[in-house]
Structure 1
């Protein structure tokens, strides 16, 4: 019967009987090989593979983290979008920065009543202070209140990270030092720069811990970060202030246009608090200035910095009610396109 089947296959396909006779022999040999491979090497055909369950996620980590971003006074476009006196904004680049690492954002609108802000803090797993220019009044008091709350949460056993960028870092410097006049004039507006690591700077456990060695080296030699500020603090003044030096370790310094050194990255000794005088969000998500670095290495810097913030937020023990999170997410607001004029931010969220 097998021979008849081969003859029939030969007639149907037009392939000679002599060639067809080898087909079942080859099939038998192949199946024997598969059996030997399975026995000796654990190799299976797709249909023979055993189903395997995915490994369970780490129960100590939270994989739905939310970051609170504090809004800044104004509309982010010098009044071109709104002149409302109660307006505040968050540049969309900060939101995208957080989202790129796998977290969502709840806006912490600085003009909201304190009880509302504190309620929102219970919905997030970390906080980001943005850049800007306001350093007094209600905004400063709001930043101080939230900063103290961040420390309280950590002191209470709740891992709660904070990123303070540019103005945010300046305000934290003022708060920790208890000196509102501690900052100095620097010339670092719209300037790309390097980061110079301080001698014996800690890498493990800080924002730089996952940077590849080659990228760390390039931070010292290539202008991969964006500066945009006229205030800063020199390493000497920073270290001479015992409150600052006991709270923060200086990781990097940078030079302004006049070759003046200033502190550019700090990490708290005892809290998951990181301060940047530079703007890690701009490399990937802002385009107004031609000086913003957009090289592949610069984009990697943004991604590594974002990943560290969100990895710290995943350590949070907070598991907020999902519906309350949904009700407060920044997705409830519509961003405005402000980059067409070629100045400022490309997109902003405005709150009035």
Structure 2
């Protein structure tokens, strides 16, 4: 005569009929069932412990590359004769996402960039208006950084780069091999645009965890601020056999309805770029530019720097101590209110030489 008994599996009571004759068989069955349950639970626990033990940097410091002083601003500071600058909007955008900034100067040798990058957790190539063929300038410095970052990552040292507008174009040119012909296309866009996401964008690192409501805003509202006369097209990637390394994740259309790449990422390295300007919605205020300043523009553009800083937290480079940190940080330089001078940038940091120079 069978005997009914009950067991509890994951909080659910299940009745099992046990025949006294088949007691030994049932014991073997229960043993297999129990092992199966424990095996599943164990897999979950291991995964959670692994995530919990992942080492993250809670004090990330990001280098921002300076660029040649603009002709317009040079005329506003003729005696100081500054050679390079960083728009403060990039610094504030990084700080807003929970990181600090170290300025990276142009015109240095490769050892300067390598030694500094050993202390930094990532590098930002900002947008701007400079030529790529100037010796010892923005492009040369970026090339050193780009190549050193590749070396770091190839050695298992996770080192991210994020590039905006001019930097977006330069990174593809560096990947193509710099030459007399630059691998970018003419493309005029001076307006606020939505993004046209690639069909597989949700599998990208940049957008994998982006909130759905922010994706909706980016796809349906004119919130990405474009200000460029060059761009990267799919044809630029194909012409230099870059499509296997670089992955477009979204597009936009310029003033002449040319479809250009708006965001991309490297398939192996933690290198990311946007053709538009996420920093401008919160920190650039020139009226004639008509930048998008709506609350949706501000919120949705946070996706990009929040993501990049989260990538930089995976890098554990550090300065020797707080004293060394303090010598390098951007706080050693005053932010100058350049908007009042007619500059497109609201504030700027200026570098080398500091003070007046002899005539």
The corresponding residue for 1:128 is: 124
Deviation at 1:200, TM superposition (A): 2.3
2:339 is the counterpart of 1:339:
yes
Whether the aligned pair in 1 keeps the contact of 2:278 and 2:304 (CA below 8 Å) is yes
- Greater CA radius of gyration, 1 or 2? 1
2:56 is the counterpart of 1:61:
yes
The corresponding residue for 1:182 is: 183
Whether the aligned pair in 2 keeps the contact of 1:76 and 1:345 (CA below 8 Å) is no
The corresponding residue for 2:231 is: 232
Structure 1: gaps spanning 5 or more residues:
1-56
Whether the aligned pair in 1 keeps the contact of 2:70 and 2:129 (CA below 8 Å) is no
Show the 5 A alignment for 1:61-210. 61-75=56-70, 77-83=72-78, 87-134=83-130, 135-137=132-134, 138-139=136-137, 140-178=139-177, 180-189=181-190, 191-201=191-201, 203-210=202-209
2:240 is the counterpart of 1:241:
yes
State which drifts further: 213-222 or 168-177: 213-222
Deviation at 1:240, TM superposition (A): 4.2
Deviation at 1:157, TM superposition (A): 1.0
Per the normalisation by structure 2, the TM-score is 0.77
Counterparts of 2:256 and 2:224, CA distance in 1:
18
Per the normalisation by structure 1, the TM-score is 0.78
The Cα RMSD (Å) is 1.9
Counterparts of 1:277 and 1:65, CA distance in 2:
24
Deviation at 1:206, TM superposition (A): 2.1
Deviation at 1:65, TM superposition (A): 0.6
Whether the aligned pair in 2 keeps the contact of 1:76 and 1:91 (CA below 8 Å) is no
Counterparts of 1:93 and 1:146, CA distance in 2:
22
State which drifts further: 207-216 or 224-233: 207-216
The corresponding residue for 1:272 is: 270
Counterparts of 2:234 and 2:220, CA distance in 1:
20
User: CA deviation digits over 1:171-205, x for unaligned, max 9?
Assistant: 1111111254221111113x11111112223x245
Counterparts of 1:204 and 1:336, CA distance in 2:
41
> What SS does the aligned partner of 2:243 have?
helix
The corresponding residue for 1:28 is: none
> What SS does the aligned partner of 1:334 have?
coil
Aligned residues: 293
Distance 1:207 1:76, change over 3 A: farther
Structure 2: gaps spanning 5 or more residues:
1-51, 353-359
